[in-house]
């Protein structure tokens, strides 16, 4: 179980690096730059990745391995990502003045893709390599 968790953690960080390097920085600065801190709070990011990897393991990868079904990993991983990012984005949309709908939609799409890709890649690696 620990090996599976570490695989998912590493894969999720690498998948998310694309988003943060090429898209998120400019998107967030353009949309909510006035709210952004000068430096990211690394400890908060660490907690997110630790929790995210555990959720993907429990709700997407482990069940897909039990079922021997990579489509399950993709679908349930994607839905899990959508649900996690929807919680964040719709809370912000409900409570914060001028929270941009464009940012909400793009971040929801990313969260769905990121968790789906992480789940699928992790499933393939765990199933075929480990």
Structure tokens at 100: 């941009």
| pLDDT tens digits for range 44-82 | 999 999 999 999 999 999 999 999 999 999 999 999 999
Res. 87: pLDDT tops 90:
yes
Tell me how far apart the terminal alpha carbons of the chain are, to the nearest angstrom: 11
Res. 25: pLDDT tops 90:
no
Rg of the chain taking only CA atoms, in angstroms: 15
Range of the domain at 7: 2-128
| pLDDT tens digits for range 103-118 | 999 999 999 999 999 9
Total domain count, the chain: 1
pTM here? 0.94
């Amino acid at each position: 179980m620990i090996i599976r968790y570490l695989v998912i953690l590493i894969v999720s960080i690498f998948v998310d690096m694309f988003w943060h390097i090429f898209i998120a920085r400019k998107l967030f600065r353009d949309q909510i730059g006035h709210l952004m801190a000068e430096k990211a709070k690394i400890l908060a990011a660490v907690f997110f990745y630790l929790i995210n990897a555990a959720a993907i393991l429990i709700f997407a990868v482990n069940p897909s391995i039990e079922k021997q079904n990579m489509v399950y990993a993709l679908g349930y991983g994607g839905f899990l990502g959508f649900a996690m990012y929807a919680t964040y984005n719709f809370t912000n949309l409900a409570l914060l003045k001028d929270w941009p709908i464009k940012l909400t939609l793009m971040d929801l799409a990313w969260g769905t893709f990121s968790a789906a890709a992480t789940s699928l890649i992790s499933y393939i690696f765990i199933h075929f390599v480990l």
